[in-house]
């Protein structure tokens, strides 16, 4: 058994162990589902009484007691009647059993100790010997609707953390504690970057002047890098007829996630746009094209809308309004590699500038479930081979991930690694042979024949909101000079120093340095603390000595006191660092 497979089996086993403990401690407890997850496991329960984290020590103690008796984990196939009889007391298991039978799936029970549970398998064969009793801990309690449907009953979800060894669990716990300190929601509030107002709605963040500036600085750089490679700006409206998405295939796949719009003037069925690609295809289709014009490159930073479930919304990382720095390219097959080369160059430059390492996930179709994807098999094989060749030729640090493709084509998902070692999917170039054909897009080739162009989707940050959630946590709010909404604060020691201080402040502002003047009649210590609390890259303190020498004393967030320097040297330093994106 491979290491990752063993870890998943360990976590899955612990989910069952939690069931056994809960059913002993809370007679009448009904377990629903309980899978392994990235850092452990969870189990959903319908409980006769509420459970809190204060109950975890006794639950963990019971789990460890039961673990001593679990020397096997045996599975057997059962009939529908046997299964329904065994779980006649549990409507959640009964629902699953009937569903499995209807779909023609095998119904299997797994037994360890006195526990019998409905499960498809994937456990440790001898939990008592293979599972260290100190490699797991219960983590938190949450509410979860049965089957994720808000119309169903709210169940109690108990999460647990689990690793193969105690040391790995402790290391992960320490990392997560640091992650909690870096929570983008806390830092966003502390730095005054964004807010979420109840009267506006969940998943609909509002950005303050500082937060909006941060967004714009990132987007300006994203657009600059793509413009240098030939992408041109286009614009599309925020609502559209749903026919557009029926043609593209999005309606059948994601129709339940769309916001519907009702017109008072027309019978057209309208939706808030959930993505931009069909719009850009209509711009392409507005006039005939020759192979001489290709590649045609469009880019648009715009907000799209998806009706995410309320329970899944989280700060900026999961929202209902998603601003994409989107790009779509229409090209001939022999231009694919060059387009991808340009996009890879843009991605490397951008993520190097923001200080994040990246590796590539080749997101391919799952060959076991071809029905989930649009398009012909040979086109998929061709597209995936092209991406694999591109990854090898560019010497990317890559890995293949079957099942992670978009429904219309394979893609390269660039995974950014943050300061805590966590991976996040951000930039994504996607190859698409399907949608251009569905929309009847064409160009005239060298022989005068109509051909279907290849479409390449690309987003450098993906969702700007989600990107910011990652980046704020990566930097802990310590933004580099070029991105800091306020780059430097100018602080007079006392009010009689205000004249020279304002002179320095005006010089900085005239040279497009984002400076802030703190001439409030407060003590110096509080002004400096404010600069530190707001994580400003620099601040200047001006007192008698500075005025006498016609210099300034520069303090750095990252390097401490940098000493006195002339105002000309200060300006040169700030401009050079901003230009070099330090």
Sign of CA dihedral 141, 147, 148, 152: negative
The verdict on whether residue 277 carries a ligand-binding annotation is yes
Nearest CA-CA partner of 327 in 356, 302, 357? 302
How many residues make up the chain in this entry?
Answer: 582
Question: 475: helix, coil or strand?
Answer: helix
Contact at 8 Å (CB) between 134 and 154?
Answer: no
Contact at 8 Å (CB) between 549 and 470?
Answer: no
How far is the C-alpha of 429 from the C-alpha of 455, rounded, in Å?
10
Centroid of chain to Cα 25: 38
How far is the C-alpha of 392 from the C-alpha of 344, rounded, in Å?
12
Peptide bond preceding 208 in cis form (omega within 30 of 0)? no
How far is the C-alpha of 495 from the C-alpha of 480, rounded, in Å?
30
Concatenated DSSP letters of 401-416: EET-SBTTB-EEEEEE
Assigned token pair, 486 = 């306020």
Assigned token pair, 227 = 């413009």
End-to-end Cα separation, the chain, in angstroms: 46
Count Cβ atoms below 10 Å from residue 163 Cβ, excluding itself: 20
Assigned token pair, 581 = 């994106």
Contact at 8 Å (CB) between 11 and 24?
Answer: no
Distances (CA, A) of 555 to 369, 495, 522, 539, 551: 59, 20, 19, 5, 13
Phi, psi of 73 (to 5 degrees): -145, 90
The verdict on whether residue 457 carries a ligand-binding annotation is yes
Assigned token pair, 217 = 């600085």
Nearest CA-CA partner of 116 in 78, 80, 150, 153? 78
- Strands annotated E in 146-272: 154-162, 194-195, 206-207, 232-233, 239-241, 260-261, 270-272
Q: Kindly tell me the burial class for residue 553, based on how many C-beta atoms sit within 10 Å of its own C-beta (0-12, 13-18, 19 or more).
A: buried
Q: Could you list the active site residues? A: 277, 306, 324, 326, 328, 411, 457
Question: 573: helix, coil or strand?
Answer: helix
Question: 222: helix, coil or strand?
Answer: helix
Which parts are annotated binding residues for Zn(2+)? 277, 328, 457
């Amino acid at each position: 058994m491979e290491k990752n497979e063993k870890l998943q089996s360990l976590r899955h086993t612990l989910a069952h162990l939690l069931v056994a403990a809960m059913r002993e401690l809370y007679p009448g407890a009904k377990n629903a589902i309980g899978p392994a997850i990235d850092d452990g496991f969870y189990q959903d329960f319908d409980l006769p009484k509420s459970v809190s984290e204060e109950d975890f020590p006794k639950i963990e103690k019971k789990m460890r007691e039961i673990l001593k008796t679990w020397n096997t984990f045996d599975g057997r196939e059962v009939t529908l009647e046997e299964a329904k009889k065994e779980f006649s007391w549990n409507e959640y298991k009964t629902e699953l059993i009937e569903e499995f039978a209807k779909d023609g799936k095998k119904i299997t029970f797994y037994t360890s100790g006195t526990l019998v549970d409905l499960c498809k398998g994937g456990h440790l064969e001898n939990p008592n010997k293979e599972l260290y009793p100190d490699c797991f801990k219960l983590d938190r309690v949450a509410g979860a609707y049965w089957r994720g449907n808000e119309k169903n009953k709210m169940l109690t979800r108990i999460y647990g953390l689990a690793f193969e060894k105690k040391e790995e669990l402790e290391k992960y716990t320490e990392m997560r504690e640091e992650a909690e300190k870096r929570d983008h929601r806390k830092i966003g509030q502390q730095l005054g970057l964004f807010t979420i107002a109840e009267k506006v709605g969940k998943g609909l963040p509002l950005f303050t002047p500082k937060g909006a500036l941060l967004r714009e600085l990132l987007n300006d750089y994203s657009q600059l890098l793509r413009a240098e490679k030939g992408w041109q700006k286009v614009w599309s409206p925020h609502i559209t007829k749903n026919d557009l998405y029926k043609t593209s295939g999005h309606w059948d796949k994601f129709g339940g996630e769309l916001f519907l719009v009702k017109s008072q003037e027309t019978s057209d069925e309208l939706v808030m746009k959930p993505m931009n690609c069909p719009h850009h295809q209509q711009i392409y289709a507005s006039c005939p094209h020759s192979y001489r014009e290709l590649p045609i490159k469009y880019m648009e930073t715009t907000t799209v809308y998806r009706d995410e479930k309320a329970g899944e919304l989280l700060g900026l990382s999961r929202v209902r309004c998603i601003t994409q720095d989107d790009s779509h390219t229409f090209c001939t097959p022999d231009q694919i590699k060059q387009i991808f080369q340009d996009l890879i160059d843009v991605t490397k430059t951008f993520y190097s500038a923001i200080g994040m390492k990246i590796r590539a996930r080749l997101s391919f179709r799952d060959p076991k479930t071809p029905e989930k994807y649009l398009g012909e098999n040979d086109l998929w094989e061709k597209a995936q081979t092209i991406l694999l060749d591109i990854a090898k030729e560019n010497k990317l640090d890559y890995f293949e991930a079957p099942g992670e493709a978009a429904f219309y084509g394979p893609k390269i998902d660039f995974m950014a690694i943050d300061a805590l070692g966590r991976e996040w999917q951000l930039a994504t170039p996607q190859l698409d042979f399907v949608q251009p054909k569905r929309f009847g897009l064409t160009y005239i080739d060298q022989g005068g024949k109509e051909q279907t162009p290849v479409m390449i989707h690309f987003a450098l940050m993906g969702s700007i909101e989600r990107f910011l959630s990652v980046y704020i946590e990566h930097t802990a709010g310590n933004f580099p000079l070029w991105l800091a909404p306020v780059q430097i604060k100018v602080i007079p020691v006392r009010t009689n120093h205000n004249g020279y201080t304002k002179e320095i402040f005006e010089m900085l502002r005239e040279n497009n340095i984002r400076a802030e003047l703190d001439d409030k009649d407060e003590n110096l210590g509080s002004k400096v603390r404010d600069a530190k609390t707001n994580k400003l890259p620099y601040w200047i303190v001006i007192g008698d000595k500075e005025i006498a020498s016609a210099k300034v004393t520069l303090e750095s967030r990252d390097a401490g006191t940098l000493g006195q320097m002339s105002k000309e040297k200060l300006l040169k330093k700030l401009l050079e660092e901003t230009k070099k994106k330090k």
